[in-house]
Structure 1
Amino acid sequence: MHLIERLMREQGSKHFWGYVLAFGMMGVIATTTTLSAYMMKYIVDRIFVDRNIEAMWAIGGAITVIYIAKGFATYGQQVILSRIANNIIAESQAKIFDKMLAMDVSFYNARHSTEFLARQAFISQSAGSALNTLVTAFGRDVLTTLGLTFAMFQQDAVLASVAILIMPLAIVGVRKLGNRARRVIMTEFYGFAAILESLQETAQGIRVVKSFTLEPFMRERQVAAIRSFETAANKLTRVQSRSSPLMETLAGVAVAMVVVYGGYRVINSGAQPGNFFAFITAMLLATEPAKRVARLHVDISTSLLGVEMLYQFLDEKTPETEPDDMPALQITAGRVEFDNVEFSYRPGEMVLNKLSLVAAPGETTALVGRSGGGKTTAMSMILRFYEPTAGRILIDGQEIAAFSRRSLRSQIAYVGQDTFLFKGSIRQNIAFGKPGASDEEIIAASRAAFAHDFIMSFENGYNSPVGEQGMQLSGGQRQRISIARAFLKDAPLILLDEATSALDTESERAVQEALKTLCAGRTTIVIAHRLSTIANAERICVIEGGRVVETGRQDELLAREGIYALLHKTQFDRGLMLASSGAAAE
């Protein structure tokens, strides 16, 4: 009931007059259905018993008018309710998407992306369906049943009482099916999500599937998900259909009793046959709406489960929701400071352990170290993807947690090691760096990122589609488009997380020159595993175990013969080994 109350408060009130109009249409449907039962009395008595020609034409005309009115009312009710339901679905889908945008990165780390697809496909339709089921049940079915019941009592109160006594038995028998239906629907939902998950991973990882001959494994997994969904769907059908034998049996018993008793009265007591036929017609017409009312608990349980899941998601806390009056951060010099920052993804597993460092204005600060040391986490915290559990992050002496995320991120150009391109053209993907940018600005940014030449080699140039996640481009091409996007943003703070990792040697050299132009006069923080790419950085911070263990220029760190010197020597020796093996192969 609390779900229905909230649904009525949030959605029903918005469409109040639409539901009133639909309710009126359903009142017309109930009235015309009741009148059609009354007409049976006159059909039998006036036409077949009295053989009255005038009555025949009058009754025929009346029936025509009744069913025309019913047809238009049915059409109006269906259109109105469909429009309302479609609007509610659209609003629910928009709310789900807005909620997704308001969630932080950790929320997505804990979930598979197909969960959100399943929500859009399964849950968003539940709100409109639940309200329509309720309105239709109380508007069309209850009104029709009441009208026909009234007609039955007018014809024969005793027979009507016998028929009405059977209805509570049906409602009690069907009620228990609702809870079971909810459990089955939940299983069906997760089965549907598993199918989407397998489809998405197969499409996105098709190169791995093919190269590792994983087709049998993926097929087996998908078939298992499909079979699970099929089993749940079949079980739901059985649960929802269990009311039919009960209802049909009770209806059959009621009709048989009416036929026997009514026939006895007509034959032995001289009762009018028209009354009997009007009664039996009303009873038969009332059977279907009465069955729908009796199984309302089962039908509404299906929709309300989706509504419950919808509200559970919409009621999730949104860490990135901020007050409208949150002040905007103004970056002037661009000095970035970590002050004893601590952070952990899971309790007891410290990732950043009192991390303290300074990225000086207008200089390049490189973060190096072994994998898992916390470099990418530290960069993510500058963007406020995560919040410190202790300590502070400051830009120009301002603690970034006190300012809006939007103002912070709008002044940062970020190029990650996992380059993501959106579906669309190359031009559109570069333009994300500066919405509304002119073609000249886009081309200038592409030239600076050494991307213009390969873009123009495509048949459609900047209008060439990149495909899903940029799969129509090579890794190096995707990364240079990402760098062009950063050029276009022209932000005072640059974050580069392995920005040249997917480039060949020649492209890397060209892009390094481009990055020099991009980073000139700007505060730049670079994560690099290839130490050759940060040889000229003004400051190198070696991060181990979530804290800075060495800092200085490259020549200073090499002279200390510490961790950085060991990393440098390891890479240098590996490079010589690869070069020697290459020369030997030639």
Structure 2
Amino acid sequence: MVLRRLLLSDGRKHWRGYALAFLFMGLMAACTAGLAYLMNDAVNAIFVQPTPAAVWAVSGVVMALSIIKGASAYGQSITMARVGNRIVADNQKRAFDQILMQDASYFSRHHTAEISTRFTMGANGARGTLDLVVTSIGRDFLSLAMLAAVAFVQDPFLAVIALVVMPAAVIGTRKLIKRARSIFATGFTSGVKLSSIAMEVFQGVRTVKAYTLEPEMRTRAHNFIDDVEVNANRLVRTQAKSSPLMETLGGLAIGGVILYAGYNVIELGRSPGQFFSVLTALLLAYEPAKRLARLHVELVSHVMGARMLFELLDAPAPDQDAPGIPDMPRPRGQVEFRAVEFGYRPGEHVLRGLDLVAEPGQTTALVGQSGGGKSTIINLIERFYDPQGGAVLIDGVDTRTVTRSSVRASVALVSQDVYLFSGSVRENIGFGRPGAAEADIIAAARAAHAHDFIMGFEKGYDTAVGEHGTQLSGGQRQRIAIARAFLKNAPILLLDEATAALDSESEAEVQKALNELQHARTTIVIAHRLQTVVRAHRICVVEHGRVVESGTHEELIARRGRYYGFYYAQFAHEQGEGRATGEPAMDAPADTAPAPDGTRLRA
């Protein structure tokens, strides 16, 4: 049960704060009951037996009780807010840590908007649930109980009326709880969809505008907004249904009190002070009783939020190492795939018994058609995923037998899709080695041929890169990523199409930086432009999850196999482009080569 778990975890952890808040709320309830009780003396002192001294005494006590009640309300509010803020902070930290412990497949299964919603709504749901329970018991229930006691002391029969209203109201609202849960769950789904479409439009605004998708995206967003509005209105209607019940029952109770008390005063000659005291107690009890009657309905949304938090916290953490697993010593850099099997979905293999060795200090290039498994090889080296069969070894050590952090500390990745964090140029380079000195950051930027353009900015290394680095050009982002890799100084370097999206001038600058970065490192390169890998120590053609050819550029050309077909097909295409732009054509071999689709190609 979510509520029980909250009470045993966050409630127990912060029991001192809640106890203090409960004390303040108890004082508030006692003052409220005291004010109702004093109505008997106040009315009698003014209207029945006028006595100036009694009026002064009653007025003084009322003022004192009001001051105490106001101070207690302030103390309760501050205490509850501090405890609540601490609960939100603690749970957000736990949730964030748990999210970081998920592997890459978790983020492919769940939309960013859903993860973000669970992260924020879950922590606030835990706080809201405990706040509602504590205030309902400490403020509303205690106030109701003490006011009922006042009514019982003044007139036991009238007290029965107060004790009957609340149970009847609670029973009447139980039927609303199930409906409120269903509405909230539907509303949450619509809210996640709305956040998803909004996030996708904001991040992909260039694509939206380039393809004039504004009308389509506007229609989709408006539909989700309408769904959220409809569910919000349904939830409000459901929660509001408890109010008419309390209005009716409360009115009947007060009407009965007036009728009974009026009869006692007029016909039996009893003191009007008792009547006003009981009536005041009932009127003051009305709001606490109404809030208690709505408690279960209002708890639904908070409990659902807390349940989302616990679902996240209870999820397995596949990216977390088991206790006692050792770190991997800094490796020389040999990377080996031994009969590796892997697939992202059951029954759909991407790697099928892959065997591959990348020798220390050498460059190994992976080429082949898209979908053959090249990027998956990078993912397995980084331990974003673990193989489902076979083993990935670094210096002969199975990467699954050492900590993920030590494996990743030995690997630097530069990909086509460079991710820069919001912040400064300095911060983004510094992420390569947190805590690095300024001199080391500048040295890494120089090595990456980035220092000159960085110093060309008005703020230099303090220049903000913008969200995802949008304030920089593609070549600038790529060189900052290379500087980050330089700073990390890992013995294994992974290059995933690092220059594919750049123009010729930017590519030349980035390629210079990459050539320096590759020096004395084990480098594994994925490239579709084969001219960038002809100098690799070893080129592996990866198709259908296997290495079908390997060797140097010259060896593979002489073999006249798949690489030969890829290379000369690309060579002929680029030669055709050169003719179209007026560039001189290069002489092509007269031999025929197999094209990627298996046909013969005149190269």
Q: TM-score, normalised by structure 1?
A: 0.97
Q: Say if 2:456 is the partner of 1:457.
A: yes
1:305 corresponds to: 304
Please name the residue that 1:271 is paired with: 270
- Matched with 1:110 is 109
Note if contact 2:331-2:410 (Cα within 8 Å) is conserved in structure 1: no
Q: 1:349 & 1:497 partners in 2: Cα distance?
A: 23
8 Å contact kept, 2:335–2:392: yes
Residue 92 (structure 2) aligns with: 93
User: Matches of 1:477 and 1:549 in 2, distance apart?
Assistant: 36
Provide the C-alpha distance between the structure 2 equivalents of 1:449 and 1:169, rounded to a whole number of angstroms: 75
Task: Please tell me the residue identity of whatever aligns with 1:574.
Answer: H
1:524 is displaced (CA, Å) by 0.8
Instruction: Give 1:402's aligned residue.
Output: 401
Q: Deviations over 1:334-363 (max 9, x none)?
A: 111100000011111100000011101111
User: 1:270 is matched by which residue type in structure 2?
Assistant: G
Which letter does structure 1 place at the counterpart of 2:470?
A: M
**1:265 partner letter:** N
Write the letter of the residue equivalent to 1:366: A
Check if 1:130 corresponds to 2:150: no
Look up the match of 1:388: 387
The residue matched to 1:473 in structure 2 has which SS? coil
- Hey, what does 2:548 align to over in structure 1? 549
CA 1:30–1:364 in structure 2 vs 1: closer, same or farther (change >3 Å)? same
Equivalent residue for 2:244? 245
Comparing 443-452 with 461-470, greater Cα deviation is found at 443-452
8 A Cα contact 2:479 2:513, kept in partner = no
Letter in 1 for 2:358: A
The structural deviation recorded for 1:584 is 7.6
- SS of equivalent to 1:494: strand
Letter in structure 1 aligned against 2:82: R
Supply the AA of the counterpart residue of 2:542.
I
The 2-side partners of 1:182 and 1:139 are apart by 25
Partner of 1:467: 466
1:202 touches 1:218 (CA, 8 Å); kept in 2?
A: yes
Query: Could you list the per-position Cα deviations for residues 155-177 of structure 1 after superposition, in whole angstroms to 9, with x for gaps in the alignment?
Result: 22122223422332211111121
Return 399-408 or 227-236, whichever deviates more.
227-236
Q: Deviations over 1:473-513 (max 9, x none)?
A: 11121111111111111111111111111222233233333
Aligned pairs for 1:469-488 (under 5 A) are 469-488=468-487
Any idea what SS the aligned residue of 1:357 has? strand
- How many percent of aligned residue pairs carry the same amino acid? 48
Residue 80 of structure 1 corresponds to which residue in structure 2?
Answer: 79
Kindly indicate whether residue 202 of structure 2 is the aligned counterpart of residue 222 of structure 1: no
**Contact conserved, 1:343 with 1:350, CA < 8 A, in 2?**
yes
String of CA shifts for 1:506-546, please: whole Å, max 9, x gaps. 33233333322222221111111110000011111101000
Equivalent pairs, count: 584
Higher mean C-alpha displacement, 450-459 vs 271-280 = 450-459
Contact conserved, 2:352 with 2:544, CA < 8 A, in 1? yes
Whether the 8 Å CA contact 2:327–2:406 is kept in 1: the answer is yes
Give the aligned partner of residue 595 of structure 2: none
Which residue of 2 is the match for residue 175 of structure 1?
174
Supply the distance in 1 between the matched residues of 2:94 and 2:435 (Cα, whole angstroms).
27
Q: Deviations over 1:389-408 (max 9, x none)?
A: 10001111111100001111
SS in 2 for 1:529: coil
The offset of 1:120, in angstroms, is 3.2
The question of 1:533 aligning with 2:532 is answered yes
Aligned-partner SS, 2:349: strand
SS at match of 1:207: helix
Q: Is the 8 A contact 1:479 1:502 kept in 2?
A: no
User: Residue 350 of structure 2 aligns to a residue in which SS?
Assistant: strand
> 1 CA distance for matches of 2:161 and 2:467?
66
Q: 2: distance between equivalents of 1:39 and 1:316?
A: 56
CA distance in 2, matches of 1:57, 1:370: 95
Counterpart CA distance in 1 for 2:146 and 2:330 is: 73
Q: CA deviation at 1:195?
A: 2.7
The residue aligned with 1:195 is: 194
2:40 corresponds in structure 1 to 41
Change in Cα spacing, 1:162 to 1:464, as seen in structure 2 (3 Å) is: closer
Q: Tell which deviates more after alignment, 525-534 or 498-507.
A: 498-507
Letter of the 1:579 counterpart: G
Structure 1 unaligned regions, length at least 5: none
Mapped partners of 2:317, 2:566: distance in 1? 41
Output the CA distance in 1 between the equivalents of 2:543 and 2:450: 35
Q: Specify the SS of the correspondent of 2:224.
A: helix
Q: What is the distance in 1 between the residues matched to 2:330 and 2:149?
A: 77
Residue aligning to 2:163:
164
- In structure 2, the residue matched to 1:412 is 411
2 CA distance for matches of 1:567 and 1:209?
A: 35
SS in structure 1 at match of 2:344: strand
Query: Could you tell me how far 1:264 is from its partner in structure 2?
Result: 1.1
- The alpha-carbon deviation at position 116 of structure 1 amounts to 2.3
Q: Counterparts of 1:348-363 in structure 2 under 5 Å?
A: 348-363=347-362
Deviations 1:185-207 (A, max 9, x none): 22222232223222222221111
Query: Deviation per CA, 1:275-313, whole angstroms, max 9, x where unpaired?
Result: 111111111111111111122111222211111111011
Find the residue that maps to 2:566 and give its secondary structure.
helix
1:273 Cα deviation after fit? 1.0
Partner Cα separation in structure 1 for residue 503 and residue 548 of structure 2: 31
Name the SS for the 1:342 alignment partner. strand
Give a deviation string over 1:353-377, Cα, whole Å, max 9, x none.
Answer: 0001110111111111000000000
Cα contact 2:119–2:309 (8 A) shared by 1: no
Q: Secondary structure at 2:296's aligned position in 1? A: helix
- The answer (yes or no) to whether the contact 1:412–1:493 under 8 Å persists in 2 is yes
Aligned residue in 2 for 1:144: 143
Cα deviation, residue 440, structure 1: 2.7
CA distance in 2, matches of 1:509, 1:475: 13
> Does the residue aligned with 1:349 lie in a helix, a strand or coil?
coil
Matched to 1:462, the amino acid is Y
Q: Aligned-pair distance for 1:410? A: 0.7
Name the SS of the counterpart of 1:580 in structure 2. Answer: helix
Q: Match of 1:13, SS? A: helix
Residue by residue over 1:566-585, the C-alpha shift from the partner in whole angstroms, topping out at 9 and shown as x without a partner, is 11011101111111111289
Q: What amino acid is aligned across from residue 239 of structure 1 in structure 2?
A: T
Supply the AA of the counterpart residue of 1:153.
F
Amino acid at match of 2:33: T
Specify the alignment match of 2:279 in structure 1. 280
Give the structure 1 partner of residue 291 of structure 2: 292
How far apart, CA to CA, are the structure 1 residues paired with 2:176 and 2:482?
58
Structure 1 residue identity aligned to 2:214: E
Q: Separation in 2 of the partners of 1:166 and 1:507?
A: 78
Match of 1:438 in 2: 437
> Counterpart of 1:526 in 2: which secondary structure?
strand
Q: Report if aligned partners of 1:331, 1:395 keep a CA contact under 8 Å in 2.
A: no
Task: Look up the SS of the partner of 2:378 in the other structure.
Answer: helix
**Inter-partner Cα distance in structure 1 for 2:459 and 2:171:** 67
1:52-106 CA-partner distances (Å, limit 9, x unpaired):
1111111111100011011111111111111100100111111111111111111
Q: 1:169 to 1:328 in 2, by over 3 A?
A: same
> Could you tell which deviates more after superposition, 196-205 or 482-491?
196-205
Task: For residues 303-333 of structure 1, give each alpha carbon's deviation from its aligned partner in whole angstroms, at most 9, with x where no partner exists.
Answer: 1111111101110000011134321112332
- Separation of aligned partners in 2, 1:358 and 1:534: 17
The corresponding residue for 1:522 is 521
Task: Give structure 2 stretches of 5+ with no counterpart.
Answer: 585-603
Note the 1:362-381 alignment, pairs <5 A.
Answer: 362-381=361-380
* Partner residue in 2 for 1:489: 488
- Distance, in Å, in 1 between the alignment partners of 2:332 and 2:32 is 79
Contact 1:430 1:442 in 2 (8 A): yes
Distance 1:29 1:57 in 2: 23
| AA matched with 1:506 | E
- Tell me what 2:184 maps to: 185
Q: Distance in 1 between matches of 2:13 and 2:511?
A: 57
